Structure 1
Amino acid sequence: MERKALIEAVRTQMPERRWQHTEGVMQTSIVLARRFGAEPERAELAAILHDVAKFWPVERMREAIVEENRYTDVLAYDKELWHAHAGAYAAGRDYDVRDPEVLDAIRYHTSGRERMSLLERVVWLADLIEPGRNFPGVEQIRTLAEHDLRGALIEGFDTTIAYLLAKKKRIYPLTVLARNDLMTEGG
């Protein structure tokens, strides 16, 4: 699907405010991809589709995850994670995205995981720090993202985990594993 048609198709799947977020993630993904050596076109494609399933009914998300039958463990955790997995499935099924790394960048844009690819890292961070985001610590993460991808990711995961703990929410194991994996990398 051509970029313009894809954008129009995805835009209809969400309210205007979420589309503005998606545009911010698209722009931020391109900047981060160029800065850290990922492919901007692939980063933008993942960003366009990262929240395609965000406003689906919960049962539709569940059905997509069950139908794909590969990552059903996510169903035991917070429903906020489900849209990423359902979205990756929809990207392949409905929008003919075949690039496994783009699909994984969509799938793990909320949770992260161990051994994240460069593209996954760029999209995960772009989703967290796009210009419309406003939460305590976001400016520090943005500053780190100007020169230190790993450091920005660690700070981002720390902030995410602290938020989940403060809200007394269960933490998806991949999120902890992603953070710990980054901690064991050089530096």
Structure 2
Amino acid sequence: MKRVFTVKKTNNSLKKLRKAMEKVQDGDRYEHTLGVEYTAAALAMRYGGNVCDAQAAGLLHDCAKCLSDKKRLKICEKHHIPISKVERKNPFLLHAKAGAYLARKKYGVKNQDILNAIQNHTTGRKEMSLLEKIVFVADYIEPGRKHAPNLAEIRKMAFLDLDGALLKILEDTLSYLEISGGDIDPMTEETRKYYSKKKQ
């Protein structure tokens, strides 16, 4: 029987989500998850967002990361979740989309903003909500992150200019993928172009 966690604005429901993630994630992934929860909460406090929603989205953003590529593909195909060419070639990228599905079906999340934040935390999208931006940035700057480019600069910027930090992360990510020869998801490039124009 599946356990369903209804995300309410209570510490108790967040404790249940933490315990659920601890069971399905390995040690390093769980530490990362707690770091994203903490950082998302801090950013929500800074920018006037819903702190509980930020914590819930942070806790669940990688809830499908522990699944195999085959399982992530199966979830998306079975439930008619769109799969891009890049995602089909690199199924690990589907953890965000599969994660949003699991957050809704397995963990009882009904808040569409939380689901969007989980689904878009790797590529971003145009016209992201405050919560989506917070989780995207928190995933990059959480305390356990060590080797990301320009990390100290982006951590400082995140609490001064959220859109600026978002754009810098997108630019650095694309630059890294181009140098390393990695596949670039078109959505990441679209998001970069959108926020680059907004900053002009």
Could you tell me how far 1:186 is from its partner in structure 2? 4.8
2:98 paired residue number: 86
* The one of 130, 134, 144 aligned to 2:157: 144
Residue 32 of structure 1: SS of its match in structure 2?
helix
User: Cα RMSD over matched residues?
Assistant: 1.3
Aligned ranges 1:1-187 → 2 under 5 Å: 1=5, 2-73=13-84, 75-135=87-147, 136-186=149-199
TM-score (norm 1): 0.95
User: Within 2, Cα distance between the matches of 1:80 and 1:49?
Assistant: 16
User: Within 2, Cα distance between the matches of 1:181 and 1:38?
Assistant: 22
User: Within 2, Cα distance between the matches of 1:52 and 1:99?
Assistant: 16
- Cα distance, 1:28–1:182 mapped onto 2, change above 3 Å: same
Residue 146 of structure 2: SS of its match in structure 1?
coil
Aligned AA (1:41) = C
Residue 91 of structure 1: SS of its match in structure 2?
helix
Asked if structure 2 preserves the Cα contact closer than 8 Å seen for 1:116 and 1:178, the reply is no
Q: Deviations over 1:113-135 (max 9, x none)?
A: 11111110000000000011112
Aligned length: 187
Identity value in percent = 36
TM-score (norm 2): 0.89
Aligned AA (1:162) = S
> 5+ residue gaps in structure 2?
6-12
Asked if structure 2 preserves the Cα contact closer than 8 Å seen for 1:53 and 1:84, the reply is yes
- Runs of 4+ aligned structure 1 residues displaced above 6 Å come to none
